[in-house]
Each structure stands twice: as structure tokens, then as C-alpha cells.
Structure 1
Amino acid sequence: MLASTLALALSGCFAAGDAGAAADDTRIKVAMMQPPRSGLTPLSDDAFKLSRWQAAETLVVLDEVGEAQPALATAWEQTGERTWTFELRQGVEFHDGTALTAKQVAASLETAANASPKPRILDGVELGIKAEGANTVVVTTEVADPLLPQRLSSPQLSILAASAYKSGGVVVPTGAGTGPYVLSSFDGTSSATLDRFDGYWGEPAAAAGVDVQFVPDGTARAAALRTGNADIVETIPVGQVAQIDPALVHEVPMPRTNTLYLNNDTGPFADPAVRAAAREAIERATVVERVYEGRADIAEGLLGPALPWAAAERANENYTEVLGNRAAPSVVKGTKITLGTFTDRAELPEVAVALEQQLEAAGFVVEQDVREYQHIEADALDGKFDAFILSRATVLDSGDPVAYMYSDFSCEGSFNISQFCDAEVDAALAKAAAVAPGGERRAAIAAAEALILSKDAAVPLLHERVIQGESARVRDVERDPRERALITNRTGIAD
């Protein structure tokens, strides 16, 4: 009864947004999980919504392996140790009718670089930006940064028209992007309306528009797909999948790993042999099957199938040799440990129960501490737990995993739940960070991963998948592991 009521409410929301849009069957109806938190400003995580709707664009985009590809910039080169020059696409028009110029690109990037707080892709990064002529932008970094083009792919560095930037640092993206869809309006945390932009520089949008509703309740989102009240649905809960036509459900590997972090500094897991005992006690396949109903991938490393190159790198002989240096497990009898996790992700408390059973079968005595994330994060970062289960994004806004690995596993890492510090690992991460994107960098990243795992700093459990719903009415919906794209100019109504 509850699901039916929610589906009916959602149907009413779509119908109420725009009478013309509701009657137009060439428009796409989308149910998204999280409402905007910051008025859709691109300087926040709301930027990813603008990107998923193709309302705003960046200078570059990332391909499948994380290499930078042209978007609003058609070419770039490193013209000095700390200097990059970008050539802009000509003939691009903002949604408000003004032209894309080097001056406005520089102004957009300067706003992001000077924001407080900064977009996270620019944490610790100082940029100098200037326009040279009508179509060239020069970006200077404080230190050499081989990853700069990838950084500029972050949706938080979207380029908007001057009309978007208001007094007091407020950014309003309505009618100010360059994508195939113009954000025509949005209603707080409830809905957004986008229309085809006929002046788009690329291939025109296939659909007349997109009508978005924000539906935090997973049961309601699933019901909307079943009843045809939504064409595209974000993040269907695992428990709802069995009630939906399998043809409408698509699983996308995410660059997110469910990991058991072990406290390497204090307590029982300061002993490498005890960490090894915990690692050997974990049965990943059981967790995937029982908690995720098989809708996740067993973790062989920190990096999963959303990064298609990771598995090939792990097949390298050097990687296998490093893992062979792991400590042998000790016998544990009655060793007491505290295991923490949080309730915000519904599966994690269930994962904690499964791991408690497996660890106690190996001889540990487990005490659980499960709270909301906002009430447990500080304790986790302070090393108050012997073990902590975290669902962690492994590639951040640059599409590159070095920042995540540095944050979680370097001596100076800001998110080092494992309290882990190892000079050899730090050196490997520094080497990976200094290499230009490409095969050599990927090999260096894999070498650092092998070292981290060889020390049992953490036990990767599984790689999550996002379950995306698509009605039979739509075609060419993007299934993006990085969750940057959803609607594209090709997405439309099926013939």
C-alpha cells in the first residue's frame, strides 16, 4: 500500500511540474535520489546533477580509462613545467545567448579557485588563470601537476555564463550553461525542468526536455519505474529489484569499494599477524551473496571493475610477488576487537553482522558500534575502533585513484582510518602522483595498491554497483560508473 501511495504521489509531481511538459511524450521523466543541497551551484556536489542532465559542461571530459578528451577545449599542451595552455572550441553559445570566450572561461575557473570552501578537486591546489586572446586560456599551477587536464574535467569546474555569478559569491546556473539542455527552472529540493537548447554547438538533444523529480525514498523510486511514472530512475535499492521487470534494471559497476579498515597503530591489529588472521577470516563471497544478493563484485583489490585497467595490472608478476610478502596469520583465541560502521548506507550494518560472525568463527570477540555517519566519523578518524567498515569512492573528481590512496593510506593522509604509516608506501604513492596520465601511471598506481595490501592496512570486501532503472520508453541512457553522465544528447524516446 505504501509503495502504491508513493508512486501515485510521484505521478502527481511529474504531472504538476509543467502542464505542457506533462502532456508531451517526447520529454523524459527522471526520478533522482538526492535533492540539491546547495541550490545547484556548481561549486558544490550539486554540480554532478548539472553534469548528469547535460546542462553544464567542462573544458575536458574523461574517457573509459580516465584520459582527458576534448569538450569545451579542443586542444591543450603543457607549455612549461607548471603551465598549461588550452585552446577553446569556437562558436559555442551559452544558454543566455552570450558567446563562450577565453575571458569568461577564465572568470569561471577563477571563481572556483577562489571559492571558500573550494571545490574538493582543488583542495591543496593553487591555480593562476588568464585569458590570452579570444580563444586561449593559460593555467599555471603552484607546483608541477601532470593531472591538471583531468582536474578540469570535474563538474565542479563547469563553465557558466557571466549571468550565473551573482553578488556575494552566489552562483545560479539557470539558463547559463552550454550543454544540449538548458536548465529552465528548479523548485528547491523537489523538481527541475530542462528543455532542449536549439543553439547547442554539438549534436542536438534527441528529447524535447527532461522533467526531474527528487525522490529520496527508494521504494517510491522503484514503484515509479514499475508503474511507468518515471522513465529513468537512479539507484534502485537491492531489496526492490525482485519486484521489477528484469529488462528494466541495469547494473553499473561503481568506483566504490566496501572496505574493512584495520587499525595499524594501536590495539590487536597493530600486530601484522593478527591483521593477517582477520584478512584470512573474511569470506567476501558470502557477504556479496547474502547482503547484496549477488549484486556486487568480490574485491580482489582496492580498485574494482569500474576501472577496467585494474584487473590487468594485478595480473603482473611484480604485483603477485609483492602480495607474497604478506605476514602469516597468527592463531587468535578470545582477542577482543571493536568493529564500527554507520547506518546511512543500508547494507553496512548487515555487512557488520556478517563480518562479526566470520571473525568470531576465527577466534575474535567482536563488539559492534553502529551509528549515523555524522556521529561516528570523528571517532573513526581518531582511531577509536580496531576495525571500521566504510563504503569508499576510489576515484575522486579527477577520475584518478591516487588522491584516494594518498588520503587513506599515506602517513599524512587526511582520511587515514587505518592509522597507517609506511615509508615504502609513501614513496610509491609519490612516484605514482608524479607520473603523467597513461600506462606508466596506471602501473605505478597498481604497485602502490600491492604494497598497501601486502601490509594489510585494509581488507577490500566488495565493489558496489549502482542499480539504474530505465523504462522501455527510453533509449541511449548513459550508464556511467563515475556518475557524471545520465542524460546525453543521444538519450531519447524509443521508436
Structure 2
Amino acid sequence: MRVRPALPVVGLGLSALLLTSCFSAPDTTEEAGAEETGDRIGVAMLNPPRSGLTPFSDDAFKLARWSTGETLVVLDEAGDAQPALATAWEQVDPNTWRFEIRQGVTFHDGTPLTVDQVVAALTAATQASPKPRILDGVDLTATADPDAPETAVLVRTGDIDPLVPQRLSSPQLSILAAAAYGADGVVDPVGHGTGPFELVSVQGTSSAKLDRYDGYWGDKAKIAGIDVNFVPDGTARAAALRTGTADVVEAIPVSQASLLDEDQIFEVPMPRTNTLYLNTERGVFADPAMRAAARDAVDRDKIVDTVYEGRADVAQGLLGPALPWAAEGRPARTETAAGNPAGQEIVLATFTDRAELPEVAVQLQQQLEAAGFTVRQEVREYSQIESDALAGAFDAFILSRATVLDSGDPVAYMYSDFSCEGSFNIAQLCDPQIDEALQTASRIPAGDDRRRAIMAAEKLILESDAAIPMLHERVIQGESGDFTGVARDSRERELIRATTAATTAAS
């Protein structure tokens, strides 16, 4: 059995010592054979649970990354729905979808997966307060199919929604056993999932333990379990990888990456774009020629090299390499000719919560001033600046923005940021042609036609110069090399899989 050494404290600050000292000792289970072993994998995660691991919160993504909570469908790399706890589905009318439920599945507490429990789990999600983010603005109901009450579920939406299967892939709609759902609305996932690993204990915000579930409906896990520690401090997480205290480490800071072996670092493209939003409604950038001047002034390569130390991707559009179909389908666009800023003053704003953004602001100020603008910066905490940004108080605003939400589809992001009635329209953009393109895309079922419509909408948004995408972020994942089959997932839904296995025999 592999034994991890104690984490050394020399060279770490007190905060790192306190955080890393919480790592649990490895399990000493004997090997179970060549395929299934007694090896356990240690994982250091960035964020501790914030809502008691209820699936109705962002904690649901931890349940997915540990392969303990499962959904009716999952998404492939392109964002298309694939079978999971549902084996097939079809749209039976504009507002209704029918899902065939997988037979022979048991929850970790030994109870069977049934149609009634799927209905109960989805209904609990619709009644949660607050609702899971994936159900914002969605009127969804689930019932047993009266023609096949033992095997199929009908999911209905108030409005026509071509993305119902993708929506049901959200970890926030994981299906748990009946005993998980308390009368007070509290949901306890411990011992109540269906995945290859059973969550057996949680120690508050410090650690969690999962064991292999031998009754899993699919291929059983190759390792005996997962030992999770929550380590918010980036220096401590990197130290855990260097010393062998953890086998997999989430979100290693760029500043720590150079201290690790390059063969232990994996950069995963994120569906997140660092974008300069320009106020199209009033001020200097109400003039398209001035927006074009700002566009031409931005040196993306320099920002990536200096602020991100080369660990980001230069943006060619709003959607980056985390969506591999975007680059292939991006049409050529027509650019507005740039005007002469002639010293016009602009206010460039951003926030401090993401450490790199103030540094990006410094670079952009220099670049915009070199182009002829006079630039004044305004930098605050996000909670203190968001309302002003949404009200159009600034000429330009730097934002790191997720470009796909839980459905794996970027239409919702584009609509909120660039439609006339968008709730997050920092650019104050209102273009009927863009609105029409977004509405067209939203009505098309998932697949190649929808993706082409999305790229047509992106083309119009970029031609407006309301948003100047600068770079696509990456997350740095650390791996010891002692295990294979660890997922490197841009959507952060997978991490430890049933196929994750030790690279060498335990010793």
C-alpha cells in the first residue's frame, strides 16, 4: 500500500501549515486483485463545501468530481447529451420530453433506483429555495409516464426548451436516494448516491472520504477510494503535490507552477474569457470608431505573457478552446475602421477579487494611452463595483466571464451579456440584429445547426466591438503521476473516475 509522507512545514507560512496539517492518513486496505486494488487517491481541493454538499448548490460539482452523485445524462466534449441514469430520451411534444430510466441501479444505501425516486428528486430540486441555478427561470415538472410508469419519466417545461437533456446533465440535478431528502429541505448525500464511489463521511469543511461501491451498475472502480482535503491556500495545495501528500491537486496558482515538475502540471482550458466590455450607450465608446480604436490598441499576447506567464490562450473570439467546435466554425468578420482618440478621457474599471485583473488593467491602461486615450482607473471589490458596472457608470470594464453555464451551452451567456434585455449587459448593447440571431440560436435543438447559429451570433457581437475578448483562462491541475485516468475536465464535472487506477503496484 502506498503511504504518503507527512507534509513538511519548512518554508511555509503559518496559514499554509494550518491548512495542510488537515490531510488525512491513507487507508491501509489490502489489495483486491489486479483490476481492483486497495490503493486510495488523495485529492486537495480548492473550495470547501459551502452548503453542506447539497446538490442544489455549487457543492454538487464536488459530488460529480468524486463520481458519487450521478445525473440522468452527461455531456460529451462537444456538449451533446449522452446516457447515464437515463438510457434514452425523446421529445414527445414541444414542451415534453420522455426519459427511459436505467434498470438494475441501486443507491449506495441499497435501495433501487425507480421512476418514482427520479420524479421525487427532480421535484425536490424545483421546490428548493433557492432553486438550483440550472432551473433559474425554468418551469419544470416531472411525472411518471402513465404508459410506462415503471420505466419512464416525463419532463415538461412551461416554455419550449430544446436543451432539456443538457439541462438535466447539471450536477445540481443529481438523483439521490429517498433517505437523502429531509422534510426540512436539507439534502444529505452521504451514502445516498449511485456512482462508483460512495461518500461515507464528511468532516465539515476540512475533509471527506469515499470508498469504492461494489454494487455499482457499471464497471467498478479500480481503486479503493478517495481521500479529499479542502485546502483554500494555493501555496499549501502546491506543497501537497511536491511532498506527495496529495496525488491530485486542483487549481495550482500560476505563481506556484514554476516550483513544480513540469510533468506534474496539466493546463486545462476553461470556458472562461477575460473580456474588455465597452459602454456602447454613452461616453467615448458610443462611437463605433472609438471602440474600434480600443480594439486595435489591445495587445493580447503581451497580457498573456506578462500577467498570466503564458498560461492562458490568446482570444480569437468570445468562445475559446474549452469549446473545440468554436474555432472550427468561426466565420470571418468585418471590422469597423478605427478613429483617432485624440486624448479623449475614459474610465477603465475592474475588481480585486481575481488577483490578475488589476494587473490586466495596468497593461490595458498603458496600451490604450499609447493609442491616444487618456485613461483613469477605478478598481474596487466586486461587491462594491458590480451595480455601477451594470448601470453603465464606466467607459470600459474588465471582466473574467464564464461563457457556458450548467447546460454546457453559451446562448444563455450571450443573451445575458449582449441582448437588449440582458440582465448582465455591462456594454449596454442593444442591437435588434444581435437579438434576432440569439433568439434564432435559442430555438434550435442541440447539435451542429445550433452551434452554427451560435457562431453567427458571436460574429455580430464581435463586429459591434462592444466586447473585446482578450484571453481564455486555463486552470492548472497537479498530478503526482502515481495514478492514471484522472479527468482533466474544462467544465469541472469530472475528476476521479471509475477508470482511475494506480500506475504501479502498491508497496
Shared fold, TM over 0.5: yes
CA 1:146–1:44: 2 relative to 1, 3 Å: same
Please say which of residues 103-112 and 117-126 is displaced more in the overlay: 117-126
CA 1:452–1:166: 2 relative to 1, 3 Å: same
2:240 aligned partner:
224
Partner residue of 2:418 out of 395, 409, 415: 409
Shift of 1:232: 0.3
Q: TM-score, normalised by structure 1?
A: 0.96
Shift of 1:12: 3.6
Distance 1:11 1:239 in 2: 18
Where in structure 2 are the equivalents of 1:402-441 lying within 5 Å? 402-441=411-450
2:73 aligned partner:
60
Shift of 1:20: 5.1
Where in structure 2 are the equivalents of 1:223-302 lying within 5 Å? 223-302=239-318
Distance 1:249 1:361 in 2: 37
1:74-111 alpha-carbon deviations (Å, 9 max, x no partner): 00000111110000110000011110000000111011
1:481 aligned partner:
490
Which runs of no fewer than 5 residues in structure 1 stay unpaired? Answer: none
1:441-491 alpha-carbon deviations (Å, 9 max, x no partner): 000000000000000110000001110000021111000011110011011
Partner residue of 1:117 out of 130, 145, 162: 130
Contact 2:348 2:377 (8 Å CA) reproduced: yes
2:463 aligned partner:
454
1:101 aligned partner:
114
Distance 1:117 1:217 in 2: 29
Please say which of residues 273-282 and 186-195 is displaced more in the overlay: 186-195
CA 1:59–1:402: 2 relative to 1, 3 Å: same
Moved over 3 A (4+): 4-12, 18-25
One-letter code of the match for 1:252? V
Please say if 1:29 is aligned against 2:38. no
Shift of 1:15: 3.3
Please say which of residues 65-74 and 484-493 is displaced more in the overlay: 484-493
1:43-96 alpha-carbon deviations (Å, 9 max, x no partner): 001100100111100000000100000000000000111110000110000011
Shift of 1:5: 6.1
Contact 2:16 2:233 (8 Å CA) reproduced: no
CA 1:461–1:97: 2 relative to 1, 3 Å: same
1:287-320 alpha-carbon deviations (Å, 9 max, x no partner): 0111111111000000001101001111xxxx21
Contact 2:24 2:227 (8 Å CA) reproduced: no
One-letter code of the match for 1:438? G
Distance 1:25 1:351 in 2: 47
Distance 1:378 1:7 in 2: 35
1:192 aligned partner:
208
Higher helix share: 1
1:348-378 alpha-carbon deviations (Å, 9 max, x no partner): 1111111111011111111111122222212
1:210 aligned partner:
226
Distance 1:222 1:446 in 2: 38
Where in structure 2 are the equivalents of 1:53-202 lying within 5 Å? 53-132=66-145, 133-202=149-218
Please say which of residues 440-449 and 115-124 is displaced more in the overlay: 115-124
Distance 2:361 2:30 in 1: 44
Distance 2:174 2:463 in 1: 39
Partner residue of 1:400 out of 409, 415, 425: 409
1:155-202 alpha-carbon deviations (Å, 9 max, x no partner): 001001111101221111111110111111112211111111111101
One-letter code of the match for 2:196? P
Contact 1:10 1:229 (8 Å CA) reproduced: no
One-letter code of the match for 1:184? V
Please say which of residues 180-189 and 20-29 is displaced more in the overlay: 20-29
Distance 1:309 1:172 in 2: 38
Contact 2:316 2:469 (8 Å CA) reproduced: yes
CA 1:25–1:472: 2 relative to 1, 3 Å: farther
Please say which of residues 341-350 and 83-92 is displaced more in the overlay: 341-350
Contact 1:7 1:224 (8 Å CA) reproduced: no
One-letter code of the match for 1:170? V
1:211-260 alpha-carbon deviations (Å, 9 max, x no partner): 11111111111111111111000001111111100010001111110000
Contact 1:7 1:227 (8 Å CA) reproduced: no
One-letter code of the match for 1:223? A
Shift of 1:277: 0.6
Shift of 1:116: 2.0
Please say if 1:347 is aligned against 2:356. yes
Aligned-partner SS, 2:393: coil
1:254-282 alpha-carbon deviations (Å, 9 max, x no partner): 11100001111121111111111100100
Aligned-partner SS, 1:36: coil
Contact 1:7 1:229 (8 Å CA) reproduced: no
CA 1:231–1:4: 2 relative to 1, 3 Å: farther
In angstroms, what is the RMSD of aligned CA positions?
Answer: 1.7
Q: How many residues align?
A: 487
One-letter code of the match for 1:63? D
Please say which of residues 281-290 and 265-274 is displaced more in the overlay: 265-274
Which runs of no fewer than 5 residues in structure 2 stay unpaired? Answer: 1-9, 32-36
Aligned-partner SS, 2:184: helix
CA 1:41–1:48: 2 relative to 1, 3 Å: same
Please say if 1:494 is aligned against 2:503. yes
Distance 1:134 1:407 in 2: 40
Aligned-partner SS, 1:109: helix
One-letter code of the match for 1:138? L
Distance 2:376 2:44 in 1: 39
Distance 2:119 2:211 in 1: 27
CA 1:463–1:430: 2 relative to 1, 3 Å: same
2:476 aligned partner:
467
Contact 1:191 1:212 (8 Å CA) reproduced: yes
Please say which of residues 362-371 and 245-254 is displaced more in the overlay: 362-371
One-letter code of the match for 1:329? A
Please say if 1:310 is aligned against 2:323. no
Q: TM-score, normalised by structure 2?
A: 0.93
Contact 1:15 1:22 (8 Å CA) reproduced: no
